[in-house]
Structure 1
Amino acid sequence: MELPLEKNKTIRKVSVFVVDDSLVYRNLLRNTFSQDGEIEFLGAAIDGKFALPKIAQLKPDFVILDVEMPQMNGIQTLEEIKSKFPETKVIMLSSLTQDGAKITLKALEMGAIDFVPKPNGGQELALSETLELLTSKIKALSQVKPSVQTSFQTKNPAVKTIQSLSEKNCTICAIGISTGGPIALRQLFSKLSPDLTGSIVIAQHMPPLFTNYLAESLSQAAHMPIKEAEDGEVLKKGVAYIAPGGKQLQIINGVSGPTTRVFNGPEEELCKPSVNILFRSLAENFPKETTAIIMTGMGEDGYLGMKELKKNGAYLIAQNRESCTVFGMPNRPVQEGLVDEVLDVERIAEKISSLLQRTQS
């Protein structure tokens, strides 16, 4: 459907179909989308069995897909959608449970573009935040080409080298990432050298439970141990640490070297974990030993942290626009010239391998 603008100008609404066995959620989403001037609500179904014929008929831009449903669950439905309607983008609705987290991570590996967690219980504020988050994701992701979801290849990526790598002695690689992160990180870790002599720390925007399963999932593709960070760990060479969902992560100067601090701090940029908080801790404690990478994601989390890192002498890299699911978080650091290089995922992996192997040369 197209909306009239000025003379002879129109804007196309983003069409959405909902698949959820909960009548409450179907009605909530119907009301939310129907009242939004940029979204067209096409309909809803109780599970995949009833949804697939409707999706074939209506051809929605997005399907909002519940993870747990009778007869035909979210994973089965997603597999059919990606096979028969590859142009349709899928956002998963996931319960905040261990099973929900595990299945959601699998859905992202299968081609779902993103997910939104369902709040536990009927908390009105949490429910309102969920609906607002889902709406903002639909609008932000409506411009994404479906091929970008699973392919990070790019032609002639723009590269800007400012600092001589031979002068760097990196022992820590810090990564900030959000929407599109699980797929990008899986590709990244599959390409990293198996004999890194530095440590990797990651702030991926995710709720509790999800980051533990993300670490497990990435470990299957990696040549190094990957774990959810615990408070008070001394960073080990050749190990990657993921900030726990729903908590903040800092790297502080401990008695035995760089040490994790995991704590229940407030959100920053509506994020917990926050890339800014992780990056600022490294800017304060280990800037000369750090290379920081800002990758695919919505919003601007990480920008302020990168400014501090840049000022204190860290080496900065951004994922390029072509390989990002959403070129939000890298955009401002690139536009303002904060980063030393702009690379696709494969070349980021090569650069990490080069920088973190250089520590013993």
Structure 2
Amino acid sequence: MQVPVEKSKATRKTSVFVVDDSLVYRNLLRNMFTQDEEIEFLGAAIDGKFALPKIAQLRPDFVILDVEMPQMNGIQTLEEIKAQFPETQVIMLSSRTQEGAKITMKALDMGAIDFVPKPDGTQEGALSETLDSLTSKIKSIRSQKSDSKPLPDKKPIAYLPFRNRQDKEFSLCAIGISTGGPIALRELFLRLPSDLNGSIVIAQHMPPLFTNYLAESLSQAANMRVKEAEDGEDLKKGVAYIAPGGKQLEIIPGPEGPRTRVFQGPEEELCKPSVNILFKSLADNFAKETVAIIMTGMGEDGYLGLKELKKKGSYLIAQNRESCTVFGMPNRPVQEGLIDEVLDVERIADKIAYILQKVDLHG
């Protein structure tokens, strides 16, 4: 008698369950997932009340969860999923409204791994982009989870002078981050002290509205002020600035030192905000004062900027594979040897504190 061969984890499809009160979106997601050879569509429900029994029975890898629903909304449903089925990953479907953005940030604080904003209207191009983004996130997060190994026990850090930079002081920390970013940033800022003698600037891939609420959420949780960057601000020590969603952020020289430039272009740049644009502006103007950190995210945004920073003497850090939601953005810089240190989020926070507590801002 031939014994059935068990499918390997590598060939097992990623299972998905959808919770959304919109029949249009339930059908769109059903059609998309059932046509994907790597994804198993388990079903859909109109809201959390109907979804939870099915989730308990089916145990999906991912739940795609709408924010606004009757009877049992996305936040209430997320709370129950994280309490009862902690292994299930949740991606939120958010409306592009102030209330939608605010609720989504709360959902990320509660354990949702990421979100996808619903497009305005039902334009075919916008819908296609949203659906493609959702599918890419599911596959990238699942692949990362399958590849990751448990983090080793941490040993005490003995910080040494920077490689060939013993006499150098740093006053700027630049962070590039995407998928899984809000969770990683929250962990990072919870560990940072309030007395940093330097500024932090962040490019987090997010649409308009969402970055403002991300900044508010981080500022409420952290020991330091976190704000959405405005055009023409002089950077202040102990403050973190997040690039506005849908726009670009550069750091340029001003009369008092480093200053923000917030602008719309260039049109050909797909990421808004772009890590490359932020990093390249620092390479052009403040390379030797900058520590740049590339963290969790899909794609390669930040790679070109890191190459410029490396040429001009910046110190470069990457988040390690094991602690990333998706080890996409750090991967190529690490593989090509651009990075000076590869650390988990906790040690990145410790290193920022070590670096920026040692100096007085801008001389």
* Aligned 1:1-361 pairs, distance under 5 A: 11-145=11-145, 154-156=152-154, 163-164=163-164, 166-266=166-266, 270-360=270-360
Give the superposition deviation at 1:61: 1.1
Shift of 1:334: 1.0
Structure 1 CA distance for aligned equivalents of residues 10 and 189 of structure 2? 43
* CA offsets 1:251-294 (integer angstroms, 9 cap, x no match): 01123321111011146773110101100000001000100001
Compared CA separation, residues 14 and 163, structure 1 to 2 (3 A): same
* Contact 2:144–2:327 under 8 Å retained in 1: no
Describe the superposition over 1:298-318 as per-residue Cα deviations: whole angstroms up to 9, x where unpaired.
111111100000001001111
Shift of 1:202: 0.4
Number of aligned residues: 350
Change (3 A) 1:111 1:168: same
Any idea what the Cα deviations from partners look like across 1:321-355, whole Å, max 9, x if unmatched?
Answer: 11111111111111111111111112111111121
Mapped partners of 2:310, 2:30: distance in 1: 46
Pair 309,268 (structure 1): closer, same or farther in 2 beyond 3 Å: farther
Question: How far is the alpha carbon of 1:8 from its aligned partner?
Answer: 9.8
Q: What is the distance in 1 between the residues matched to 2:348 and 2:167?
A: 18
Counterparts of 2:283 and 2:357 in 1: how far apart (Å)? Answer: 21
Comparing 223-232 with 162-171, which one deviates more in the overlay? 162-171
**Contact kept in structure 1, 2:113 and 2:183, CA below 8 Å:** no
AA at the equivalent of 1:286 = F
- Please say if residues 179 and 325 of structure 1, whose CA atoms lie closer than 8 Å, have aligned partners that are also in contact: yes
Contact 1:94 1:118 in 2 (8 A): yes
Change beyond 3 A, Cα 1:224–1:308: same
Separation of aligned partners in 1, 2:350 and 2:167: 17
Distance 1:316 1:78, change over 3 A: same
Q: Where in structure 2 are there 5+ consecutive unaligned residues?
A: 1-6
The alpha-carbon distance between structure 1 residues 312 and 84, as it changes in their structure 2 partners (threshold 3 A), is same
Aligned residues with identical type, % of pairs:
78
Partner of 1:3: none
Please give the alpha-carbon distance, in whole angstroms, between the structure 1 residues aligned to 2:322 and 2:96.
32
Cα deviation for residue 154 of structure 1 reads 4.7
Q: 2:4 corresponds to which residue? A: none
What whole-Å deviation, never above 9, does each CA across 1:156-215 have from its counterpart, x for those lacking one? 58x998614533211111001111111211121121122111111000111111111111
* Matched AA of 2:108: L
Q: TM-score, normalised by structure 1?
A: 0.92
The answer to whether the Cα contact below 8 Å between 1:268 and 1:276 also exists between their aligned partners in 2 is no
Letter matched to residue 196 of structure 2:
L
Look up the SS of the partner of 2:203 in the other structure: strand
Q: Secondary structure at the match of 2:357?
A: helix
Cα pair 1:67 1:74 within 8 Å, conserved? yes
| CA distances 1:239-259 after superposition (whole Å, capped 9, x unpaired) | 110000111100011233211
For 1:155, the aligned partner's letter is: D
Deviation at residue 32 of structure 1 after TM alignment: 0.8
- The one-letter amino acid of 1:23's match is L
2:153 alignment partner AA: K
**Is the Cα–Cα contact under 8 Å of residues 276 and 304 in structure 2 kept in the other structure?**
yes
- Give the residue type in structure 2 aligned to 1:180: G
**Residues 21 and 47, structure 2, Cα contact 8 Å, conserved in 1:** yes
Tell which deviates more after alignment, 159-168 or 347-356.
Answer: 159-168
Q: Is the 8 A contact 1:269 1:301 kept in 2?
A: no
Q: Which runs of 5+ in 1 are unaligned?
A: 1-6
Task: Determine the C-alpha separation between the residues in 1 that align with 2:86 and 2:334.
Answer: 31
Pair 11,145 (structure 1): closer, same or farther in 2 beyond 3 Å = closer
> Secondary structure of 1:359's match?
coil
For residues 33 and 60 of structure 2, the distance between their equivalents in structure 1, rounded to whole angstroms, comes to 13
